[in-house]
Amino acid sequence: MASLKRVLDRSTTGTSVAEIFSSAIQGKSILITGIKKGGLGGEMVEILSAHSPKVLVLASRTPSKMSEIIEECKPKSPSTTYVPIALDLSSQKSVREAAASILSNAQIQQIDLVFNNAAIMSIPERQLSSEGIEMQFAINHIGHFLFTNLIMPKIVAAAKSNVKGTTRIINVSSRGAVYSPVRFSDINIDKTNESLPQSEQPAYDALAQTGQTVDPNDSYNPPIAYGQSKTAHVLFSLALTSRLYEKYGILSFGLHPGAILTELSRHLEREEFASVAEKFKSLFVTLDQGCATSLRAGLDYSLGPANYKTDGKESIWPTQISQKLLPGRVIRRWQSGCGSSVRSW
């Protein structure tokens, strides 16, 4: 096997990661959310399809975008079964319908690997989902939280026959998680920043480094909303591993894939996007390179529940995580909070 040092190199591509760990793809049933050409989800489907997975489940909002990817990938692996599932993460009704479709589909006997990849970023004005949840939090976290828990029987089914730690749930987070903790007392971002407990206030210094000036008297701010949703995604991985690893052997990672120019940035104003792109142009990676961290998290079985990996471009955050990034009191509240908000399913 090729040296793992190559996997951690800044120039490493998802294609090369898949080649190195191809045995972890062959014959597996893999689910990916957020499928479109020119996005991480679509790119991962194309990369994985070249290594003969048994089933690729594509879950996304637009059927035509999934069909486009499937038609391109079929010739690479004619033995692979492709299952498109309509999934609108902003609607819990859609999430429940998508999960029910998966649970009742005889082609999907189990799910070995989940990539919760879909996301939305920097909506200029605050929007609420049909359930009344701030839209970035609804799509980036709550939708995935509900979806993952509803399809858990198929994930557990895979874990029963897999080596401990090889059945995985990968939550694609972002370095944007450093912008804000989860505002547990203000999920919808109704309140001003300064009115929140200190542990829930934005990371003003981190935002300033990207040119974002945040007024303590403001409430909704697109990067803050995005940041708290991505922090929640990391905390979700912490909770999943703490609840599922010892009992079922299921492991979850939250990760930062790198700075990538995709449709995710479509809500940024042109001037704002140009400024950020110029400031951080040395950090941007290609779409193929952007898949490397997600694929390594899913396929490299040497990564265990106590790993923390970073090479300057990418980070994998599992059950032990930098206290600077996520204050311990916030983690404890998430893990020991009340009611269904912290249930694994």
Region 288-296 average pLDDT: 89
What pLDDT was estimated at residue 46? 97
Region 297-305 average pLDDT: 88
Q: For the beta carbon of residue 12, count every other beta carbon within 10 angstroms.
A: 24
Q: Are 162 and 156 in contact (CB under 8 A)?
A: no
What pLDDT was estimated at residue 1? 43
Highest mean pLDDT (candidates 112-116, 179-183, 195-199, 330-334): 112-116
Q: What is the pLDDT of residues 172-200, one digit of tens each?
A: 988 788 889 899 999 999 999 999 999 89
Q: Give domain status of residue 344, yes or no.
A: no
Beta carbons within 8 Å of 312's beta carbon, 6+ residues apart: 10
Whether 318 has a pLDDT exceeding 60, the answer reads: no
Region 27-54 average pLDDT: 96
- Residue-number span of the structural domain to which 73 is assigned: 4-333
Counting residues of the chain whose pLDDT is more than 90, the rounded percentage is 59
Q: Give domain status of residue 341, yes or no.
A: no
Highest mean pLDDT (candidates 10-14, 255-259, 268-272, 327-331): 10-14
What pLDDT was estimated at residue 128? 97
Category of 111 on φ-ψ map: left (φ > 0), alpha (ψ -120 to 50) or beta? beta
Which residues participate in catalysis according to the annotation? 173
What pLDDT was estimated at residue 313? 43
Residue ranges with strand state E in 178-301: 250-256, 259-260, 284-285
Number of domains making up the chain? 1
Q: Give domain status of residue 343, yes or no.
A: no
Q: Are 114 and 102 in contact (CB under 8 A)?
A: no
Q: What is the pLDDT of residues 261-281, one digit of tens each?
A: 544 444 445 555 555 555 555
What pLDDT was estimated at residue 254? 86
The residue with greater pLDDT, 327 or 231, is 231
Q: Give domain status of residue 47, yes or no.
A: yes
Whether 160 has a pLDDT exceeding 80, the answer reads: yes
What pLDDT was estimated at residue 177? 83
Specify the CATH number for the domain of residue 122.
3.40.50.720
C-alpha angle 90/182/295, rounded to 5°? Answer: 65
**Among residues 45, 35, 39, which one has the least CA distance to residue 15?**
45
What does the radius of gyration of the chain's CA atoms come to, in whole angstroms? 19
Q: Give domain status of residue 313, yes or no.
A: yes
Q: Give domain status of residue 316, yes or no.
A: yes
Counting residues of the chain whose pLDDT is more than 70, the rounded percentage is 78
Whether 146 has a pLDDT exceeding 90, the answer reads: yes
Whether 111 has a pLDDT exceeding 70, the answer reads: yes
H or E element at residue 145: helix 143-150
Q: Give domain status of residue 216, yes or no.
A: yes
Give the max Cα distance, the chain.
Answer: 57
Q: Give domain status of residue 190, yes or no.
A: yes
Q: What is the pLDDT of residues 54-110, one digit of tens each?
A: 999 999 999 999 999 999 999 989 999 999 999 999 999 999 999 999 999 999 999
The residue with greater pLDDT, 284 or 316, is 284
No. of H helices and E strands in the chain? 13, 10
Residues facing residue 316 across a β-bridge: 255, 309
The answer to which of 31-35, 137-141, 249-253, 255-259 has the lowest mean pLDDT is: 255-259
Q: Which residue has the tokens 């979850």?
A: 252
What pLDDT was estimated at residue 208? 87
Beta carbons within 8 Å of 212's beta carbon, 6+ residues apart: 179, 221, 223
